[in-house]
Structure 1
Amino acid sequence: MALSCYIFGASAHAQDNYEIQVYGADTVAPKTTMLELHSNFTAAGTKPLPGSKYAADGMYLTNHAEHETIEITRGITNWSEVGFYIFTSARDGDGWQWVGDHIRPRVRVPDSWHWPVGVSLSTEIGYQRPHYSTDTWTWEIRPIVDKTIGRWYFAVNPAFERSFHGRSVNQGVGFSPNAKIGYDFNKYISGGLEYYASYGSLHGFDSFHDQQRQFFPSVDLNVSPNWEINFGVGVGPSQPPII
């Protein structure tokens, strides 16, 4: 089982603030189920329009919103798995709300191929309610490459996203790269820096000012072979750091 807790300095669109994770290439062992809880809190997010409980884009407010996501992953073979997500959100005055669900099959290059890096491919499709996302039905394909060198760990996820229903349908495929650099201080504690971004449509990236970016200094605690805890605090390039 894994627990992750992330705090945002400002609202970002990368991964919709529900499941904040740079994936590694490994898959869950066959006939094994992994349960993960992702807890994300937005310290500074969208504010309401005067006389309304909605933000300017018609969405529910993200300011001081708590997102809890349950991720259940089942290993199918030694090179494949299927994950399922349950997204929820809570905010003062709104209570707990179901946001949506996604399903995520993934395959990887088997160890027997002896590639110099870990490689896998994830695809994710699902639904989110209209007041929580401007795009209700979306699809993502995520190539994953990672490598461990001594105590150092590197991972890159150049994700591609497509909306099938919502405001971004006409934008086609969008590009949202994620990356992580980590270092093992010992067998229990690792530290790292994670990067999440959304550059816009492949037809033409958004201007630099309009692109979404978040940096997360993070800590990974390997409590036991069956437990892992992750914690991070994220800020945008123009945002002050969070203490």
Structure 2
Amino acid sequence: MMRLPILLSIIAIFSIVGARAQDNYEIQVYGSETVEKGHTMLELHSNYTIQGSKTISDGELPTNHVFHETIEITHGWTTWFETGFYIFNSLGSDGRTAYVGSHIRPRVAAPESWHWPVGVSLSTEFGFQKAAFDANTCTLEIRPIIDKKWGGWYFSFNPTVDQSFAGPDAHRGLIFSPNFKQSYDITKVVALGIEYYGSTGPFFHYDPIKEQDHQFFLATDLNFNPNWEFNAGLGWGLTSNADKAIFKMIIGRRF
């Protein structure tokens, strides 16, 4: 337990200082809660790029009219610690159907017994992906998570940073990639809101606006059963470096 305060203090640092938008394999703003002890969550992330890149860039295949299917398996080890594992897949024409790569993601959370006014957790995600689908083939993501439920409103902020160890961004340092979500419970089952995914470039050496990634999604969450998760949304890219239109859907089941 002594390691938790150290890890959580890192969150405060990243929140103060505030590469790319979140990859189109897993488009999600994280909440602070971890999977319950002894439980396993199985999720399928299905994303379709309605309008994306149409040419090869840095060796990466174009994203236009491609499906990204990601299997995520997360197990809760304690009331404050979980581990997730991802299997990324691509489905598309012209050689774009393939297994893409895998990541592992340990995460710790501030226990409820601390009675903090907001939910707080810290996720670290490390893995590899094929160069044809991501020029940065070995990466680390550090994702602080801060969220709050306030009446029918829900807010979550993920001031994420990414580090590449192989590829064009390997020597650029930490890339700031913030995510944000705001939703409202229309009914006991349906929540509607907006999600934002961005990437501004390295700290203190931010990319020009046209080279940054900024995407907004109109999204819905369905809370019809505590053992099930459903999220879907339609997103638009606001800069020339971002895919212009994406549909995403997440279906999850706790066991």
Match among 19, 23, 27 for residue 20 of structure 1:
27
Could you tell me how far 1:160 is from its partner in structure 2? Answer: 0.7
Cα offsets for 1:55-87 (capped at 9, x unmatched): 133211101010000000000100010000000
**Residue matched to 1:7:** none
Could you tell me how far 1:47 is from its partner in structure 2? Answer: 1.1
The one-letter code of the counterpart of 1:40 is: N
- With 95-104 and 209-218 compared, the bigger mean Cα shift is at 95-104
Q: Alignment length, in residue pairs?
A: 226
Find runs of 4+ consecutive structure 1 residues off by over 6 angstroms: 239-243
**Residue matched to 1:39:** 46
Identity over the aligned pairs, expressed in percent?
54
Cα offsets for 1:79-129 (capped at 9, x unmatched): 010000000001024363100000000000000000000000000000000
The one-letter code of the counterpart of 1:29 is: E
Cα distance in 2 between the residues matched to 1:122 and 1:57: 28
The one-letter code of the counterpart of 2:187 is: N
CA contact (8 A) 2:49 2:245 kept: no
Cα distance in 2 between the residues matched to 1:204 and 1:32: 42
The one-letter code of the counterpart of 2:203 is: L
Is the helix fraction higher in 1 or 2? 2
**Residue matched to 1:9:** none
**Residue matched to 2:93:** 92
Cα offsets for 1:11-41 (capped at 9, x unmatched): x942221000000000000010000100011
Is the strand fraction higher in 1 or 2? 1
Q: Which runs of 5+ in 1 are unaligned?
A: 1-11, 49-54
Task: Classify the secondary structure of the residue corresponding to 1:135.
Answer: coil
The one-letter code of the counterpart of 1:119 is: V
Could you tell me how far 1:230 is from its partner in structure 2? Answer: 1.0
**Residue matched to 2:65:** 64
**Residue matched to 2:207:** 206
Q: Which runs of 5+ in 2 are unaligned?
A: 1-18, 248-255
The alignment's C-alpha RMSD in Å is 1.8
**Residue matched to 1:8:** none
- With 55-64 and 69-78 compared, the bigger mean Cα shift is at 55-64
CA contact (8 A) 1:171 1:203 kept: no
The one-letter code of the counterpart of 1:106 is: R
CA contact (8 A) 1:24 1:146 kept: yes
Could you tell me how far 1:238 is from its partner in structure 2? Answer: 5.3
TM-score computed with the length of structure 2 as normaliser: 0.85
Cα distance in 2 between the residues matched to 1:93 and 1:127: 22
Cα distance in 1 between the residues matched to 2:30 and 2:84: 12
Could you tell me how far 1:242 is from its partner in structure 2? Answer: 8.4
**Residue matched to 2:126:** 125
Could you tell me how far 1:209 is from its partner in structure 2? Answer: 1.9
Cα distance in 2 between the residues matched to 1:238 and 1:209: 6
- With 56-65 and 80-89 compared, the bigger mean Cα shift is at 56-65
Task: Classify the secondary structure of the residue corresponding to 2:113.
Answer: helix
**Residue matched to 1:148:** 149
CA contact (8 A) 1:19 1:69 kept: yes
1:233 aligns with 2:226: no
**Residue matched to 1:116:** 117
Could you tell me how far 1:241 is from its partner in structure 2? Answer: 7.5
Task: Classify the secondary structure of the residue corresponding to 2:54.
Answer: coil
The one-letter code of the counterpart of 1:16 is: D
**Is the alpha carbon distance of 1:67 and 1:241 closer, same or farther for their aligned partners in structure 2, counting shifts above 3 Å?**
closer
**Residue matched to 2:140:** 139
Cα distance in 1 between the residues matched to 2:71 and 2:125: 15
